[in-house]
Amino acid sequence: MKKIVIILCAIAMTAFGFAQEKVSFQAEIANRNGDVIYIKDNKNAIVKEIKVDKSGLFSDKFDVKDGFYVLFDGQEYAQLFLKPGFDLKLKMDAKLFDETLSYTGKGSGENNFLAQQAISNEVFGTENFTKEKDAFYLAFDEKKKTDFEKLEKGDFDANFKAQVKKNMTQEFFGMQMEYKSSQALKNVVGKAAPTFDYENHAGGKTKLSDLEGKYVYIDVWATWCGPCRGEIPFLQKIEEKYHDKKIAFVSISVDEDKDHEKWKKFVTDKSLGGIQLFADKNWYSEFITSFGINSIPRFILIDPKGVVLSADELRPSDSKLQEKLDSLLN
């Protein structure tokens, strides 16, 4: 879902053309990722840099136009709706980010709606994309009805309500596309996996066939993806636990070519283990499209004969993954 959410956020960040006035913004961030947060506009231009003060708060007043913006803490993004005269206070834990976003003050209603909607959409996908068609659309129709009712009944800014209504319509269309993609994956499981031949960070290239005789746990990720980076510490622990077992851990980056050096530096700086590969055509690489991947992180499990066991495997942060690997390897 994350990719869909990011795309829709970009669509949503249309600023309304009212006279500029100041907005007051304060953020109290536990486990912060840095000492500066950024407010960005719909062109990804920085509107304001807010530095942490001696008390550990990010606080400032700045000019805005009525509309949608993005909060960036150096690693994660969150959508904001700002309007002249808003006095907005945010609390969050950067380690969990989306799950902890909470606003108070003038403008909190609109921004809490955005935060809660993002989480609701993420949970919906997790719980429903594996369901059969009738069950999915029953849940889908109920969510669509409930979400639009919440928006209509909310005491929100009129321009906010109108724009979010348009975005939600597109978002629900995206959910249906995501569901159809997930259903298509059912046809991949139990069959020979599509192959790849990608650049290896350690040098040369690596093919899937080079790993024959081992289970292959594949992480499809990108350096810009917050949830992907969030899984890295868990993946590193799993790699360490199974380093002498009959399993290969492969990370395939779908970063664009322009970020190739960024990927190389990231892998080096973070001491990433396993087999680090760079897909030849990012999202459009044949291996990626064969699995219908349009959101990341995505994890794939292939058996020693090259047959797909799971096209949407458990994440490293899920304790059940180790139980599954133990049962396969033992």
Residues assigned a catalytic role: 225, 228
Pairing of strands 67-72, 57-64: unpaired
Amino acid at 229: R
Amino acid at 173: F
Q: Do 253 and 221 meet the contact criterion of CB atoms below 8 Å apart?
A: yes
| Sign (positive or negative) of CA dihedral 204, 197, 269, 219 | negative
Amino acid at 19: A
| Sign (positive or negative) of CA dihedral 97, 98, 100, 103 | positive
- Reported residue count of the chain is 330
Spatial distance between the Cα atoms of 325 and 330, rounded to a whole number of angstroms: 8
Question: Among candidates 180, 29, 31, which has minimal Cα distance to 102?
Answer: 29
What does DSSP assign to residue 259?
G
Amino acid at 39: I
Please tell me whether residue 309 adopts helix, strand or coil conformation. strand
Rg of the chain over Cα atoms, rounded to whole angstroms, equals: 21
Spell out the alpha helix ranges (H) of the chain.
2-12, 108-128, 133-153, 158-184, 226-241, 260-269, 286-290, 319-329
Other Cβ atoms closer than 10 A to 329: 11
Spatial distance between the Cα atoms of 227 and 237, rounded to a whole number of angstroms: 17
